[in-house]
Amino acid sequence: MSDGGPEERVEIHHQHRDVNGGWLRPSVFGAMDGLVSNFALIAGVAGGSDDTGVIALAGVAGLAAGAFSMAGGEYVSVASQRELALAEIDVERSELQRHPEAEQEELARMYVEQGVEPALAAEVARQISRNPRKALEVHSRAELGVTPGDLPSPRTAAVSSFLSFAAGAFLPLLPYLLGVTGLVTSAVVSCLALFGAGALVSRVTARSWWYSGLRQLVVGAVAAALTFALGNLLGGTAL
């Protein structure tokens, strides 16, 4: 109970997870894509052929092609996004140099719109505007939603995509590389991995582990089943 003295200061200790880093999205989607797509590919080939060597070769090709494709696509996508952001930051930098008073007033208006009293907003904008680098950072974050020194790295995104896709695609292929014949073992490994990967993703989302894992399992299993059926159909027609 309180003894009537000064209120005890409450210290806040919490950290937020990285929600916009350059590694998280490509890593998560790369692993999921690798696992689902190569499981489906192997299932499709197995549906049309009993040749274990052909199935394994298809899995290796799917792993390599998918990993390089994911890395290249992610690199170009993130590089284009970064270049666009840098171009817009340059526009903002030019405006700050050419019209500093107008930019300072614009910043003050933004603070007022967020609920700050006009006099205080004007003073905060004035103090921030004294430091050109800080002013550019604040304007860029407020108007563009980006921070000049914290833009995503195309190289990080590409490497993350390549490694995560390859890791995911390797799991359904592993039984065949170990000499196991038949699709059942690969399917069991893939389904366990799908559920585990989905459950792992729940650590960075608000979903429960069982919901996230079950959802990923259903998506991967349906994709593999449909591809297996298509392979079986095409194999039966000797195409």
- Tens digits of per-residue pLDDT, 47-64? 999 999 999 999 999 999
Q: Mean pLDDT across the stretch 11-39?
A: 70
Q: pLDDT at residue 79 above 60?
A: yes
Determine the pLDDT at residue 201: 80
Mean pLDDT over the full length of the chain: 88
Determine the pLDDT at residue 29: 76
Determine the pLDDT at residue 22: 46
Among 36, 28, 98, which Cα is nearest to 62's? 36
Backbone angles phi, psi at 3, to 5 degrees: -100, 15
- Tens digits of per-residue pLDDT, 113-139? 999 999 999 999 999 999 999 999 999
Judge residue 35's burial from the number of C-beta atoms within 10 Å of its C-beta, 0-12 exposed, 13-18 middle, 19 or more buried: buried
Q: pLDDT at residue 205 above 90?
A: no
Token couple for 147: 């921070």
Q: Mean pLDDT across the stretch 141-170?
A: 91
* DSSP letters for 128-188: HHTSHHHHHHHHHHHHTS--TT-PPPHHHHHHHHHHHHHHHHHHHHHHHHTT--SHHHHHH
Q: What is the pTM of this model?
A: 0.80
Determine the pLDDT at residue 30: 83
Determine the pLDDT at residue 6: 53
